[in-house]
Structure formats: structure tokens, C-alpha cells
Chains A and B, each alone.
Chain A
Amino acid sequence: METGWRKELDFGVLSSVDVLGTAVEMFTAGSGAPLLFLHGLDGIEGAAPFLRELSQSFTVYAPSHPGFGNSERPARLNRVDDLGYFYLDLMNLLSLDCPVVVGTSFGGWVAAETLTKEPDRASHLVLVSPVGLPTADRREQYVADIFMLSRQELGARMQLGPAGVGSNMATLTKLPEAELQRLMRNDEAASLYGWTPYMSNPKLADRLHRITVPTLVAWGAEDAIVTDTYRNAWARALPQASVETIAEAGHRLHADQPAQLAVRIAARAGR
């Protein structure tokens, strides 16, 4: 059955890759230098317009993380730390020796974990609205708790543009079963990796110094999920990175400004 999210990705190829016995859904598109895209909680389908832009300059490899989309998950793979090792295995398997690595939000956390383990595995690293550093200090929260928000409010706060399909109960309940399954898998995976400690690895900050490749951290100027304090924490933890703030964009910067973001990444990577 052709469902909505598949149509959004009609400019590339959806396949399955066996990573040491785990079947991983992989979207590939475009041509040029390799780029590994690590999606956020909105899945690869939530990044479709951005992936289309990136595919103008790069050969884009966009896997669904284990547990998301149609990707299997090994039973004990349950931390983003584990995902870091998983993506090193995936890069070995696909002979992605030194791609540009781009991660959005949760995917930025995954990208950072991966690169702290093997700092030479990317030519450039781009973290778009990353999470992964501690999201609160005792009673002070730096990142909105998505698990405490209604679907409607979360959907509205994630970006400036239209909310995702999962944020409206009236439309959500009428989706084809395969799409519902996919959304529920994405929700479950968000809970698995991000419930507690909330969307963070307390050890990540102490490892970020290992990242030596040229790195860009990009934020939406109107991000309603993370606070300035949190952005400053990233700047302190990753002083070697350039920081850009893009106007007229929320937390899902890649959804609000896909073309502009893709152009900046291509310029950074010399494409």
C-alpha cells in the first residue's frame, strides 16, 4: 500500500540493510559525496523536504534508527550510547569511511555519541537543534518535556510551520494502519531512548572534546523546545564548533528552513 510518508520520499530508494543481524530501513537519494543523515523523533519521513534538498549536493544515506520506522532493534540496544556503536558498525558495512554526518534534534545526540567514539569517521559534523546534554538541573528545566505535553501542544511547538500528522487526534485516528504502526513505533522509541534521564546522557559532555572534525551547531531562532541556557551549554561543551542561528525557524529547523539549511551544509562541506 502506498502511504503518505512513502510518497514524500519518492525521490530516492527505500531498502533494508542487514547490520549484524538487525534489519535496518535505509533511504538513499541523490549523488555526490556521502552524507549520513540521523533523524530526530519525527523519523526519516519527518525530514523528507530536507533530505530532498540535501540530495541535490550529496549521496544521502538516511537510516531509521533501531526501533524507529521499520527498523528492527536488538533487545539490549536501549541507550543512545549503544546507537553510537551501532552506527559505526553501519558505516563499516556501507563503507562510509568519512561522510558528512548530519543529525537533527535526537539525531544530533546520536551523531555526537557516534563521533565521540571514533572522531575520524566524519569529514564534517552538523548538529541541528541537538539534545543529549543534561536537559535540566534539579528543578530548572532547559528543554521542554515532550512526554508531559499533549500531542496538540507538542505538535504546535516543534516548528513554526504546520504540525506533523501525529499531533491531531482527529486525523491521527484515521490514518492507514501501516502509518499508525509507524507513528506508534516512533513514539515508543522516543520513550525507550529518551524517557530518563530525559533526552540526555550525563557522560556526553565529558566526551565531546574528542570530536575534532569541523563541526557546525545550528539552531532555529524561534526554537520553543530548548532554551538559551541549553544552547549555551552546548557552546561550552563543544567550543570547537561553529554556531549558527537561523531566522524564522523553530526546533524542527530542518522542516522550517530545509533549503537554507541544506545550502549552508553544502557550503561548509565544500560542495
Chain B
Amino acid sequence: MKIWQFTEQAYHPAFQVPGPMRVTLPQHHCDPVEAGQLLNRYLDEYMLADELGLNIMVNEHHAAATCMSTSCMTTLAILARQTSKARLLALGIPLANRSNPLRVAEEIAMVDAISGGRLEVGLVKGAAYELFMSNRQPTGFMDRFWEAHDLILDALGNQGENFSWEGEHFHYRTASLWPRPIQQPGPPMWGTASSAASAREYGRRDYTCATFLSGAVARSVFTGYRESYRDTHGREPSQDKLAYLALVACADDTATAFARAEKMRSYFTTAARLDPQFRNPLGFNAIDANVRMLQAGSAAMRPRLRNGQPLPVDGTIEQYMDAGLFFVGTPDEVFEQLAAFHGETGGFGNLLMMGQAGELDHAETVSNLTLVARDVAPRVAELPDYPTEIRYEAVG
């Protein structure tokens, strides 16, 4: 298992402002000098991750105090230059927030060139509530997503003459990337899934499939991926094709680790602060999906505790650990927890680790990353890629 450092780069001083943290939070609550200091601090921590032999994952959000990275590729353009070893993962570039897919391809190519071919890319839908900022048309989104996706891949991998594109949704007289990406036909592609059904598409496409903070559901996501991969390609995928995102709080002693986890916990409580009308803009989700969500109720979307109950948003550290969203303790304890979860889910080769979250400060983050890199990463690197028959025994 490889470990990727990830932080949402929160403007945590705003967490004290009552009310929503997204869409409607007025920008006067942001002190730009403090924001700049925080962004530089998070970049320092990414550079430390590189020195420690960890990989790097960056995301983006919009109009949110919970995440100040408003462009994956802007953040990664800096890290492409300032790191030397780490793989650099954009997970992901939200196509619902991009009006110009050729521009997306240009930014991918430029960062891949600057980094010497270390970029990995997830093209994702994007958070539904961010349509209020991009104002892209909510309806028919998936058709536009796949056309943009196809155009971006064609542009990245083109080794022939420049081409024109007259699609249903996008129109270009000439597509020409200067620079073009070092990696050919393009950087490794990722996708995100929260169900077996959505994972199958990535299995078919041989993309790396990540699932975020999904706990026990990760097992079915990975199973769906493995099934479609086997059906399409006639062989088992290596576990490098599967990834899980969770928080990690590690320290020399358990009590300190829990104290760190407590500071990171505000990631969960602030991420959920959003007025309900923005969660699901009319027309973005398919009608059948909306009907199912309404019938199931909001608790159905929550990860589960081992007793089957939904994980409360303001749950305890122990509850977040129980649900498989948080790994907390000494390096030995974190390793044991990760190894157990790895076994329960049938195995995955990438831990997308929130090694900084919420209000965890710089010194604590440095310690957290250092311990994980030194004492956990070498051991999880040895976790076995289970043979099929053992895996199915493990997943039950």
C-alpha cells in the first residue's frame, strides 16, 4: 500500500462563524493575509511529504472555508516545481466547474511537463452544491462529462496532426497542446466511486478507483471494480488500482494521537455545514437517483458503524474509527488498524491519507506525517495482494 498525503487546506479560523461553511459564507470572514500564510503552510507540509517519501493528493472546492484550494492544477503547478519524487494526484478536477475542457487538458499537460511526468489525474463530476458558483447547466451533466472526458484524453494522447472537435456540447477549431504531457498517452487516470455500480465504469476503463470515507461500503466498491475489471480485461486488477481515503492521526503515544484526532475532527463537522437547498440542485442528479434518495432518507447516505447504525456527523473519534473513516494511535496501532481494514475490504493499494485536517497545527502535522512515513508506510507497503480465493473468503 502506498500512502498519499492530502489536506483540504481549510481556512479553519472561519469555523467559529455560525452557520454554513459553503456557498453562502461571506468572504469578509476571510483575512487574506492569514489565508496566504495557511496556504503556504499547507504547501510546506506537502513538500515535507515529498521529502518523507509520501505521494501527494490535491483537491479543490469553491466558496468554502473548508477548502481554500480553488484549483487542483494551480496548487499542483507549485508542487510540480517544488517537489522532486512524489506522484502528484489531482482528485479531482471537477468538470461541472469547467466550461472549457481543452483548457483542462492544457493545464494537465503543463503540470505533467513541469513535474517530469509525475502527475496523476481524476476527472470528477464535482460537488453538486458548487454548481451555484460555476452556474453550469445542471441537467444533462453526465453527457457533457463524458464528451469533455473523451476530448481531454484525445488531446493529451494526440501524436498526430492537430484535430478539430465538433461534438454535441463542445466545439474547437483546433486542439493543440503546447506543451503536451510527458506521460503517454496521458497521466494515469483515476475515478471516484461510492457504490459498486459507479466503480464498474472505472474497472472497464482500467482507471484507478478511489472511494472516500465510505467505511464498510469500500468493500462493495472494490468488489464491483474487481468484477468489471476481470470481465473486461480477463485478468485480476492489482490492488494498486484501488484507493481509500481516510483520516490518520498518529503520535508516539495513544493519548497524544487522540488529542490530534480531536483537532482534526472539525473536518467532519464543518464539511457538513451547508443549507439544504444547495445539497442537490434541481436537475443535477438523475430522476431515479433523486427518488431513491428521498425514499431512503438522509441517514441512508451516512457511513455505518459496525452495529449497523448511521455514523453521527458529530460522532466521537471512537465512532469514526469504528466506521473505518479514522485511523488513530501509535504507529503500531495505526498499522494494525490499517491492516485490518485492508483485509476487511479485500485489499487496496493506495491510502489517500488526510494527514492534516481541521485545526491540526503545523508542528503536529509535521510529527504526524513523519511518524506515518517512517514507521507505518514501510509496513503497509508489504501488505499482500490477496489471491482471489482468499479475498472472497475475507469479504464473506
Tell whether A pairs with B: yes
- Across the interface, A191 reaches (CB within 8 A) one of B283, B291, B297, namely B283
Q: Which of A180, A188, A192 has the most CB of B within 10 A?
A: A188
Q: Tell whether B316 is near chain A: CB-to-CB under 8 Å.
A: no
Distance, CA A153 to CA B281, complexed state (A): 15
In this complex, the interface size class of chain A, counting residues with CB under 8 Å from chain B, is 20 to 34
* Known A-B contacts A150-B276, A151-B277, A188-B282; A195 and B291 likewise in contact (beta carbons under 8 Å): no
Cβ B291 vs Cβ A181 within 8 A:
yes
Distance, CA A184 to CA B295, complexed state (A): 12
23 A-B pairs whose Cβ atoms sit less than 8 Å apart in the complex:
A147-B132, A147-B282, A148-B132, A148-B277, A151-B277, A172-B294, A177-B291, A177-B295, A180-B294, A180-B295, A185-B287, A187-B282, A188-B139, A188-B282, A188-B283, A190-B282, A190-B283, A191-B282, A191-B283, A192-B139, A192-B140, A195-B282, A195-B283
Q: Tell whether A149 is near chain B: CB-to-CB under 8 Å.
A: yes
Distance, CA A196 to CA B133, complexed state (A): 12
- Across the interface, B281 reaches (CB within 8 A) one of A78, A173, A177, A191, namely A191
10 closest residue pairs by CB, A with B = A191-B283, A191-B282, A187-B282, A192-B139, A150-B277, A184-B287, A188-B283, A184-B290, A180-B291, A173-B294
A-B contact count (CB 8 A): 59
Q: Which of A192, A195, A196 has the most CB of B within 10 A?
A: A195
Q: Tell me the nearest residue of chain A to B277, going by C-beta.
A: A150
Q: Tell whether B135 is near chain A: CB-to-CB under 8 Å.
A: yes
**Segment 164-186 of A: residues with Cβ below 8 Å from B:** 172-173, 177, 180-181, 184-185
Q: Tell whether B137 is near chain A: CB-to-CB under 8 Å.
A: yes
Cβ A195 vs Cβ B287 within 8 A:
no
Contact with A along B272-307 (1 / 0, CB 8 A): 000111100111100100110011010000000000
Distance, CA A181 to CA B294, complexed state (A): 10
Q: Which residues of A contact B291 (CB under 8 A)?
A: 177, 180-181, 184
Q: Which residues of A contact B287 (CB under 8 A)?
A: 181, 184-185, 188
Distance, CA A177 to CA B137, complexed state (A): 26
User: How far in angstroms is the closest Cβ of chain B from A25?
Assistant: 16
Q: Which residues of B contact A187 (CB under 8 A)?
A: 282-283, 290
Distance, CA A192 to CA B282, complexed state (A): 9
Q: Tell whether B101 is near chain A: CB-to-CB under 8 Å.
A: no
**Segment 314-371 of B: residues with Cβ below 8 Å from A:** none
**Segment 29-58 of A: residues with Cβ below 8 Å from B:** none
Cβ B294 vs Cβ A191 within 8 A:
no
Cβ A191 vs Cβ B290 within 8 A:
no
Interface of B is mostly: loop
User: How far in angstroms is the closest Cβ of chain A from B284?
Assistant: 8
Cβ B277 vs Cβ A149 within 8 A:
yes
Q: Which of A149, A173, A185 has the most CB of B within 10 A?
A: A173
Distance, CA A9 to CA B140, complexed state (A): 31
User: How far in angstroms is the closest Cβ of chain A from B354?
Assistant: 31
Distance, CA A45 to CA B135, complexed state (A): 30
Distance, CA A146 to CA B54, complexed state (A): 46
Contact with B along A175-218 (1 / 0, CB 8 A): 00100110011011011100110000000000000000000000
Q: Which residues of A contact B283 (CB under 8 A)?
A: 187-188, 190-192, 195
Cβ A191 vs Cβ B277 within 8 A:
no
Q: Which residues of B contact A184 (CB under 8 A)?
A: 287, 290-291, 294
Q: Tell whether B157 is near chain A: CB-to-CB under 8 Å.
A: no
Q: Tell whether B126 is near chain A: CB-to-CB under 8 Å.
A: no
Q: Which residues of B contact A188 (CB under 8 A)?
A: 139, 282-283, 287
Q: Which of B135, B140, B291, B297 has the most CB of A within 10 A?
A: B291
Q: Tell whether B310 is near chain A: CB-to-CB under 8 Å.
A: no
Distance, CA A180 to CA B297, complexed state (A): 13
Q: Tell me the nearest residue of chain A to B283, going by C-beta.
A: A191
Q: Which residues of B contact A195 (CB under 8 A)?
A: 135, 137-139, 282-283
Distance, CA A150 to CA B24, complexed state (A): 13
Distance, CA A147 to CA B287, complexed state (A): 17
User: How far in angstroms is the closest Cβ of chain B from A41?
Assistant: 10
User: How far in angstroms is the closest Cβ of chain B from A244?
Assistant: 31
Distance, CA A172 to CA B298, complexed state (A): 13
Distance, CA A78 to CA B132, complexed state (A): 20
Distance, CA A173 to CA B296, complexed state (A): 8
Distance, CA A180 to CA B54, complexed state (A): 48
Distance, CA A148 to CA B287, complexed state (A): 20
User: How far in angstroms is the closest Cβ of chain B from A186?
Assistant: 9
User: How far in angstroms is the closest Cβ of chain B from A164?
Assistant: 14
User: How far in angstroms is the closest Cβ of chain A from B91?
Assistant: 27
Distance, CA A33 to CA B281, complexed state (A): 41
User: How far in angstroms is the closest Cβ of chain B from A45?
Assistant: 17
Cβ B138 vs Cβ A191 within 8 A:
yes
Contact with A along B69-83 (1 / 0, CB 8 A): 000000000000000
Q: Which residues of A contact B290 (CB under 8 A)?
A: 184, 187
Distance, CA A191 to CA B294, complexed state (A): 18
